[in-house]
């Protein structure tokens, strides 16, 4: 089973991350299927596109666009699958809708760790548009932008993910506009709720 231009994936676990285990009780924290925050972004590759050579292989775990598995209601209130739904809990995914595979950035995507705001008078807990490279890619590494590099990125270019209990921003290489020297007082910002988080996965 091969698509010409699409990957075919299945959810790694569930399509929605909308429950949280508290003790021995499972708490439902969201019941709105159209809320993208609670749609799972984790999947497993079932088939790779025939038209492309790709480093992503069958069985790889990937992070994908939040709309892939999101369901919705039509005008008559009927629950519908996304336009990417194939069959039997399988979904079509374009190459640029895969952001990471096996904890490696895919294509020209990278993942950035937010930095704690140094301005104690500011209510914002993280410094706007500044971060530390967590997962780079080959084009950035060719420019010397490797994991640990302090950077500035363009406003509203980031998509939030929780990966390995860390809150990270996904963006494209060309969204990085500056690199900086460390001043010595930069601290990564990872809110406590990101650890074991039930959303943004």
CATH number at 144 reads: 2.30.33.40
Task: State the pLDDT confidence band at 79, using cuts at 50, 70 and 90.
Answer: confident
Residue with tokens 């969204």: 175
Whether the pLDDT of residue 200 is over 60: the answer is: no
For residues 55-59, give the mean pLDDT.
97
Contact 98, 129 (CB under 8 A): no
Domain boundary among 101, 122, 147: 101
For residues 122-147, give the mean pLDDT.
93
Greatest Cα pair distance, the chain, in angstroms, is 58
The answer to the question of residue 199 being in a domain is: no
**What integer pLDDT is reported at residue 13 of this predicted model?**
85
Ranges assigned E (strand) in 94-157: 98-101, 104-105, 109-116, 126-135, 150-153
Contact 72, 34 (CB under 8 A): yes
Closest CA to 107 of 173, 47, 42: 173
Task: State the pLDDT confidence band at 58, using cuts at 50, 70 and 90.
Answer: very high
For residues 57-69, give the mean pLDDT.
95
Whether the pLDDT of residue 18 is over 80: the answer is: no
What mean pLDDT is reported for the chain?
A: 87
CA 173-156-180 angle, 5° bins: 55
The answer to the question of residue 200 being in a domain is: no
**What integer pLDDT is reported at residue 77 of this predicted model?**
87
**Regarding predicted confidence, which is higher, 30 or 171?**
171
**What integer pLDDT is reported at residue 38 of this predicted model?**
66
Domain boundary among 101, 131, 147: 101
Cα separation of 137 and 100, whole Å? Answer: 10
Contact 33, 43 (CB under 8 A): no
Task: State the pLDDT confidence band at 198, using cuts at 50, 70 and 90.
Answer: very low
Range of the domain at 46: 7-101
Cα separation of 36 and 34, whole Å? Answer: 6
Q: Is 161 helix (H, G, I), strand (E, B) or coil?
A: strand
Cα separation of 1 and 181, whole Å? Answer: 49
Contact 62, 45 (CB under 8 A): yes
**What integer pLDDT is reported at residue 31 of this predicted model?**
65
**What integer pLDDT is reported at residue 32 of this predicted model?**
63
For residues 158-176, give the mean pLDDT.
93
The answer to the question of residue 1 being in a domain is: no
């Amino acid at each position: 089973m091969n698509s010409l231009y699409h990957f075919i994936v299945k959810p790694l676990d569930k399509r929605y991350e909308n429950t949280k285990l508290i003790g021995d009780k499972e708490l439902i924290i969201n019941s709105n299927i159209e809320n993208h925050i609670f749609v799972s972004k984790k999947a497993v590759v079932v088939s790779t596109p025939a038209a492309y050579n790709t480093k992503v292989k069958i069985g790889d775990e990937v992070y994908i666009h939040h709309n892939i598995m999101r369901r919705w209601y039509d005008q008559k209130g009927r629950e519908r699958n996304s336009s990417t739904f194939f069959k039997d809990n399988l979904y079509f995914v374009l190459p640029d809708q895969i952001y990471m595979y096996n904890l490696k950035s895919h294509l020209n995507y990278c993942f950035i760790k937010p930095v704690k705001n140094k301005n104690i008078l500011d209510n914002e807990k993280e410094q706007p548009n500044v971060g530390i490279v967590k997962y780079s890619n080959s084009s950035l590494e060719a420019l010397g932008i490797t994991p640990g590099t302090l950077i500035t990125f363009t406003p509203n270019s980031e998509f939030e993910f929780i990966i390995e209990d860390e809150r990270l921003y996904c963006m494209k290489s060309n969204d990085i506009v500056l690199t900086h020297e460390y001043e010595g007082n930069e601290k990564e910002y990872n809110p406590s709720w990101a650890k074991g988080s039930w959303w943004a996965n």
